[in-house]
Structure 1
Amino acid sequence: MRDDDQREALPSGARTSPPNSPEWNEALTPPTRTALVTIETREDAVNQRYPGPRRPAEETDPGRARPVADLSTHPGQLARRLQQVTYQLWTAVVSTETTPPQFVVLNSLLADPDIDQRTLGERASLDRSTVADVVARLVQRGLIRRVRDPRDGRRNVLRLTQRGEATHSHVASRVERMNDLLLSPLNADERTALRSMLTRIIESVPAISAAEGTAAV
């Protein structure tokens, strides 16, 4: 799922629209569009730095002087396709109302209640503007509520309502089903290896980004 929670602002008629469709793109907020441009630009820079196999130009267009990249082997493109497949399964199996970022927030508050919004964003791996939007929507739905921190009356903390706990329980069981379907082509050892490799990549990105700096375009 896109980290900036593209589906949060979708109208009800577009909730089953796939990523990059006109309905999807029109529903994005300006900050989300800006973030997507930044992400895609940096993805292109990574793909250029670590290209996949290339086909000779004459195989595709004899008139081209430069080889054409086979994007089907690029890690960034494969990650994007996996994201699209996961989104399709989510809407088909899990929910068209509760989005993946909303579920992450519900799950984080179930595990660690009475935390402030900034801490919640860190737990859920959501940026400040996204977590603010998700929290506002969940409060509006009556799934979480803001309360005064009993240890510090100057700030608010967040906790699940009974309805929020029930929604989490309902969605969590469907998420397990979705994960089984998503990983069904893999055996147990392959599933473990995939999770391990994805975790290693995700955890290494901050260090790689710091070393590389901002990509020039």
Structure 2
Amino acid sequence: MAYFSPFNRLKSLLLHGNTLIKSGQCNLGVFYIKKKNFSHFYLLAVILGCYKMYYNETASIELPFVFLLHLIRRLYETVFIFKYRSYSKMHIMHYLAGHFYYFSVWEIVSRISLLSTVTCIVLVILQCFQFYLHVILASNTNHETLPHQFPYDILICPHYFVEVVMYIVICYCAGSKSAILMAIFTTLNLTISASYLKTSYEKVGIKKYAIFYGVY
């Protein structure tokens, strides 16, 4: 039984929501919780960010402020934009890892001492673009097809691509080993999720690049 292999168990921890369902890894038992609990990640991360900025526990104000805006936006999206289906789940370990991840990201972001105006503008533009992509995705009521608007006409997960770019920019600004690991983890995690969506859409005749145009 393939599901009980260690590799498949690992995959079931990484995947969530639509990717978990489409992968066939979802065993809806006691170790799975509703995907709408994603909002808990962002709520606690927003509280942590406000605490750090209020008590001046950051090396600068620019990147923590931009990252806090990102978290507030994601919190807003998970509560008001996305309509999670009742059977959309994630593994409890994914849930716990999410909290640890954002705690770790704040530790990295807090130590970045300087952020150029150009970098701030780039991050804000990426924020706005990802919000646009999420609104389009949330408005798509047919989960067996993709939205027709750009860039969903050429990529299955353009919102994942934007997320990867944002963390690469943060990694570039930080220049630390921990920031590099953060960017690598984010890229691998989102690429794995995108790969399952790519496979599932190919089964219904939709063939597009998953996350990186011209590459994969």
Structure 1 length-normalised TM: 0.28
Structure 2 length-normalised TM: 0.29
Structure with a larger share of its residues in strand:
1
Larger RCO: 1 or 2 (CA < 8 Å, sep 6+) = 2
Is the radius of gyration larger for structure 1 or structure 2? 1
